[in-house]
Amino acid sequence: MKACLKLLSAVALALVLLEGSSRAEFLYVANGGSVSAYGIGPNGALTPVPGSPFPAVNGAVAVAVDPWGRFVYVTGNNSISAYHVAGNGALTPVPGSPFPAANGAYSALAVDFFGRFVYVANSGSNNISAYRIDENGALTLVPGSPVTAGIYPVSVAVDFFGRFVYVANSGSNNISAYHIAPTGALTPVPGSFLAGSKPLCVAVNSLGRSVYVTNLLSNNVSAYRIGPNGALTPVPGSPYPTLLGSSPNSVAVDFLGRFAYVVTNDPFGNLLAYQIGASGALTPVPGLFNAGFQPRSVTVDLLGLFVYVGHQVSASLPPPYHTIRAYSIGPIGALTPVPGSPFQAGTNPHSVAVGP
């Protein structure tokens, strides 16, 4: 009964968020030294928010949004920039921002679904930091933080119910799993969870059932089922091959858990689409979808209508290369470019995230 009530509560919260996002959704992009903000139109087109781009710390490469749409967080230069989100999507620094972080806190961060905590992967010190989100968006380090991870953690994700944190360790080719205490503190989940060669990105199915990891050097995607205690068991058929030599580097799952999208770092810049089965297994959606030059990150909007891809290209390249590509999601997960795509971003857009 408690599990059912928890599920109903989470579903109710999801419906609230989705109802809110039907009024306004925003896309945020970490551009190395700034944050671009866009309003998402009914057809998925992007319109810059007044005042965008907003200043950020040098080396800002990862961005995450509080699921309630109150705050945006960006990592870079061993610190975390925090912003309050206005009704039109504009960003104002939170008092005290930027907040200090551990060595190498530039790879990734995630906000739990209930907007209580921020988790940061510190690739330079091989650990994970946990922060409590105060009422004004300021961050307070959780007692006992940071906790040890594998070698060179580069990606972090929180499950839908706020129970577990998963971290991709690029240097040790494995996944670290943690249980979240009521305080936000992390306790390692027993067991060893192997990934492919050089895992770069981890994503969790929104229903809290599956975890997906892109493996850059083994050219595949690992899929796992989440056990009651947070332990991971490979899904039958996992890992799932991508294109030969495609170097998959980022994965995102739509909010309803129907589809997974993977961008590849091959010369053709492909965007691969998969249907997610009841067991968590991946079935390729027919077709290859062009993602442009050097796609680096991918996200799906809250309603599961659109996919957005950022391109991490050399700062020396001219502005036309620094873009965000937008796609509409079809009934079986196939993608169609949104009119007006690609949309201009700041210099070297590393990471993309959507919030209400």
Q: How many angstroms separate the CA atoms of 146 and 102, rounded?
A: 8
Give the model's pLDDT for residue 18. 47
**268 Rama class: left (phi>0) / alpha (psi -120 to 50) / beta:** alpha
Tell which residue, 77, 30, 70, has the closest CA to residue 54: 30
Q: How many angstroms separate the CA atoms of 224 and 192, rounded?
A: 13
Tell which residue, 189, 286, 181, has the closest CA to residue 228: 189
Tell which residue, 260, 262, 269, has the closest CA to residue 248: 262
Give the model's pLDDT for residue 245. 67
Give the model's pLDDT for residue 321. 64
Give the model's pLDDT for residue 266. 72
What are the backbone angles phi and psi of residue 15, rounded to the nearest 5°? -65, -40
Give the model's pLDDT for residue 315. 52
For the entire predicted model, the pTM comes to 0.91
Q: What percent of the chain is helix, strand and coil (3-state, nearest 5)?
A: 5, 45, 45
C-alpha distance from residue 163 to each of 226, 264, 345 (Å):
11, 30, 34
Q: How many angstroms separate the CA atoms of 288 and 268, rounded?
A: 10
Q: Which domains does the chain have, with CATH numbers?
A: 24-355 (2.130.10.10)
Give the model's pLDDT for residue 327. 96
Among all chains, which residue has been given the structure tokens 């981890």? 202
- Specify the pairing of strand 26-30 against strand 32-40: antiparallel
Mean per-residue pLDDT pooled into runs of 10, the chain (356 residues) = 31 44 78 91 96 86 92 90 96 94 76 95 93 97 96 94 95 97 97 93 87 95 96 96 82 92 82 94 90 83 93 57 89 95 82 91
Structure tokens at 52: 């965008």
Q: How many angstroms separate the CA atoms of 325 and 327, rounded?
A: 7
Give Cβ neighbours of residue 270 (< 8 Å, ≥ 6 apart). Answer: 243, 246, 263, 264, 288, 289, 290, 291
